[in-house]
Structure 1
Amino acid sequence: MNMTVSRPQQDAIAPLTKPLSGDVPIVRQYLRIALRWRYVILGAMVACVVLGLIVTLLMTPKYTATATIEISRESSQVTNIQSVERETSLADQEFYQTQYGLLQSRSISERVANQLQLIDDPKFYELFAVSRDEPAFKIVNGRYPSNGRADRQRIAGEILRLNLSVEPTRLSRLVDIHFTSPDAEFSAKVANAWSEAFIQTNLERKLQATSYGRNLLQRQLAQQKERLDESQRQLVGYASQQRIINLPAQQNGDGTTSERSIVADDLASLNTALSQATAERIAAEARYREGGRAGASSEALRNQAINTLRQRRAEYAAEYQKLLIQFEPEYPAARALKSQIDQLDRSISNEERRVSGSLETDYRGAVERERALQARVEQLKGSYLDLRRRSIQYNIYQQEVDTNRALYEGLLQRFKEIGVAGGVGVNNVSVVDQADVPQKPSSPRLLVNLAIALFAGFGIGAGLAIALEQMDEAIADPGEVERRLGLPLLGSVPKVDSVTPKEALLNRKSDLVDAYLAIQTNLAFTTEHGVPRSLSVTSTRPAEGKSTTALALATMLARSGKRVILVDGDMRSPSVHHLGGVSHDYGLSNFLAGQDDIAPLTFDMKDLGFTAMSAGPIPPNAAELLTGSRLSLLIERLHEHFDHVVIDSPPVMGLADAPLIASRVEGVVYAVESHGIRSTLVKTALARLASANAHIFGGVLTKFEARKAHYGYGYEYGYGYGRDKAAEAKS
């Protein structure tokens, strides 16, 4: 009669059994962990605060003195050659970081140790609890040995650096120098000595840089002077050898020297004259060719004599035309005018021929001048090219002279500018505030240490709480039944302390009755026909509330008008007969052993309204009785008289009884004790039932206390709803 639940039924059950933990915000989950393990967290916090208080009280008070200095940005005066240094704005950060590093350098710490005579002072080492077994610290005749002074100087410098801190003031040029020690006056003395030592070191470094730069420039100046003289001698010697004669040198804008040779000047002059002669020849040729056209040349048109003759001819021609109007051409006056006109035409022609001859003469003269200049220019070109070939080495010597002269003049200018006074006169480091003797210790700070200890304790406690939470495998609330075990939740049963389960069931207003009524309601949705007709109740181990669950389910079903029988299936440790006040001389084991009459094996539970069957005599091996078919036969026969058969099954772990019983009924109701069993153990038991093909309807969380639940919300609501109002109404 092992029946399974269809998919639609499972979907109907799911909303009733869905765990609430998945919907709980992460903040509430952490708050639940904190509340559950609050004593662990509080204990860790208290322990850390007490430890912090003890450590603070045992610490030696220390005093911090502070001296303030100003570091100004100053560019170098030695190597500030144009286009060599980077822009000041880009080098500021590097400059100040360098200064902060110099403030904490080993040389300054050892200098302060020397100035304050700390190297050979035993009190100084005692002040900082420095005790060494090295030979340098062995006191002989009340003094340290001189041969270990170098080691003591190094160690003294390390001590000072370990207790010194440099703190630049943001967005300013101010730097605070802090020194901490158990002696307030000593702290102030070291802080002031440190600032003075830094200023002295800075001045000495500038003096050394200035002196070194001056000597270096002086040596380079002498070397550059020799190079300049040598290059000039080479230039003059080569010019004399090659007979290169140049005009006086001219200084260009870029500092180089420019010279012009005589050949180049002559070639330039003649080339200009040739260009002018060519232009004149072209103009003369144009005039000459234009004059070839009679009477049409521009020279003829501009000639005054020709223009006068033409004007007179025009006048005579006008008079001649007037005479022809009245007279014949043979008229004497007309013939005279005609003769004068012909004479004027001959004069104009003669004058035009004279002008044309003059143009030809000018043209031929221009051609001759152009040819002469062209020949001379070609001659000078050859001379100039030859000069250029001979001037290649000359120009090389000239460039070397110019370069050496520029370097020499630059070095000479820097040598004049640099000086000891210029390098040391301005100091870019100054003391703003001297360190005062501190009036109160800077450490330990009680409140700060206690606050740190408090936070550390909270962190340690939180870590321990989370670790304990991860290690805790107990089922704490109903939501974990499905989340951890994968079982549908049928309901949770509150823990009953003041009365027995039977007494609580007899009180129909008790929380136990309300809880099992809810479980019965959920069971009604597990099969197609409602509440399963046969079911067993089991658990992982004894004393988890399985017998109480079986008793309560039988009671709730009986009160709903059903005929119910409760069978005590735990033949190893029977308990149902105690509820009925009878012995277990007759019961389940008798039927399994072969007795067919069921009536003598049962008894009535009149106060609870159902029939019960005890476990019967305890057999030598209960599992052997259950392996047969007698249990299935018993259930079939009980169904003839009862609507529901509830079997109180033995625990699963260590026994074969529970899987055998589970395989004969429709399904199993699994009881899980809240805060009483590890989830891994329950999973193992469930795996055993699954291997027996048992169908599990769901889980019941027993002995549940809402105040111990992980999420502490919702599970305590409902059982007492309306009772207070009913009590008030009765009163």
Structure 2
Amino acid sequence: MTAVERAKREKAAVQILQSNIAISPIRNSALVDIKYTSGSPELAAQIANTWAQQFIEASMDRRFASTADARKFLESRLADLRTRLETSERDLVNYAAEKGITALGTSKSADGRTEVERTLVSSDLEALNAALASATADRLAAESRSVRQRGASPQALTNPAISSLRQRRAEVASELAKLSVQFEPGYPASRALAEQLQSLDSAISREEARVDSSRSTEYREAQMREEGLRRQVETLRLQLGKQSRDSIQYNIYQREADTNRQLYDGLLQRYKEIGVAGVGANNIALVDVAKVPDRQSSPRLMFNMALALVAGFALAGLATFALEQIDEGFREPGEVSKQLQIPLLGSVPNIEEGDALQQLMDAKSSVSEAYLSIRSNLAFSTDHGVPRAFMVTSTSPAEGKSTTSFAMAVVLGRTGKNVLILDADMRSPSIHQFLDADNAAGLSNILAGDNDWQKLIKPSSFKGLSLLSAGPTPPSAAELLSSDRMSMLIEQLLEHFDHVVVDAPPILGLADAPLLSKAVEGCIYVIETERVAVRGVRAALDRLHSVHAHIFGGVLTKLSSRHAGYGYGYGYGYGYGDTADTNARDG
């Protein structure tokens, strides 16, 4: 077997496995269900178990591969950070030794920074400052003692030798006083006591002088000690100031060392965590091993039949809904009465060759016959025959509305009636073009205030047919039609004409046709085959019904022969002497 054949067979095997395997998670749990469909029960169980086992092994391989890459990356980063940490700590120690900064106490801040609380210099300065304060106090006390009067100091008063001498002098003085009372001052005993008293005074004076001398010595010593301590404090103060300035760079080295240490510790912790995760237990386990099934899982006949039945009903409903939504307009004459609930006055065939006006002038044409049939049906729509004043409208432009208006007027004129066709479509007038007449003045002038309507009536070459054109296009046709002049005009026209046919504007988007419907007996509604949607026609008719307009019926125009059914294929053109042409077409 070649390598190409082996690759093709492997691809086919993979496609078979993927098309028959089904893996679905179980809701509200961390379990996954693995199913494999095969014609062999043993093979299905083996593939399901092997699939799960291979997934577990692949997951472990991916985990080890990812942790190995992470460990390799972290090892390189740890080596770099270790070097940076050693360098920063070495710089810190060297700088401290160079500047004589000896930290006696350090602390850690909330963000992990090392802060030096005390140095050796600051500690010495603190101790010397305390000693200086004590020496100053001693010097002040000695100075206070030295300036007191001789013998008045507490040391002299409390000195035992002086006290003993004073006590002895008091005794001698007492005895001398007794003898002085009894004997003369020259009495030998009195003289001896006087000499003894003088000797005691000299001893007391010498002792007090010695005490005073000791106080002076003590003061000088205290002063010298204070001065020595003050010089040492000043020296340490200057040294501490220099050390404070040096501590700025020291703190920079300290922060750099702290930062590198934090980065190193964090990366080392991450490295240990990855190592633990790499050797950790796998979180995927087989809960239930696939067993060889003892019965087939498919096909399930009853389930498939029920599913097919439900799917059939669903597709049928969907198709029905789709067909209802597809609105292509009216295709057959019978749909007008069924869809719109209005009478069908007739249908007009589509003219594939020639002009509609030429067809209308030929009384033998199918178009002329169609409108004659519409005129007959219109006569039966009322109890007094053809309405004397009616309008012709449609849903949208170009449905054959103006042609139907002109045709109805021509057909009525042929019956010997005096007919006026009134072009009320002042926005897009067209009736004057059928008669090759001008449109310089017309209905818009009358509605604007011109009461001499007789001069605006134009005769035509058709029997019994006259024209009142639309006239210049007004700024607001609806505003002119909303007045009572239109109804008054129709009443005056009916005094001179048997019928008034009004060519009205289309309904959708305009207010003209609903306003015109109030001035006539009713309207003929023109509908073009397969053009306007049924929804649009219904909306237009609802607007007419909302103003209580009377609708005589509908006329379906431009009906093709394939939709005409039996009527146009047989009726029109029969009995007018064109037998050869008819036979040629039928043949």
Q: So what's the TM-score if we normalise by structure 2?
A: 0.47
Larger relative contact order (CA 8 Å, sep ≥ 6): 1
Q: So what's the TM-score if we normalise by structure 1?
A: 0.38
